[in-house]
């Protein structure tokens, strides 16, 4: 589970947590109306950051 206090990326972290909770990236993206390709880029970025 990811956490942040940064308001700029807080919604993206919420999407990552939802995908983890559902165990399904596609469903999480559809629920939030977020393109799956951008989700993957966000996940990769956060993985690199730490």
Q: What percent of the chain has pLDDT above 90?
A: 24
pTM of model > 0.85: no
Mean pLDDT, the chain, rounded, equals 84
Alpha carbons within 13 A on the beta-carbon side of 37: 0
pLDDT tens digits for range 14-36: 888 999 999 998 999 999 898 98
Q: Which two tokens stand for residue 35?
A: 């393109």
b/e map 2-15, b = 16+ CB within 10 Å: eeeeeeebeebbeb
């Amino acid at each position: 589970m990811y956490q942040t206090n940064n308001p700029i990326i807080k919604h993206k972290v919420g999407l990552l947590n939802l995908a983890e909770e559902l165990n399904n990236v596609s469903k999480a993206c559809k629920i939030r109306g977020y393109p799956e390709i951008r989700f993957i880029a966000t996940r990769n970025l956060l993985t690199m950051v730490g």
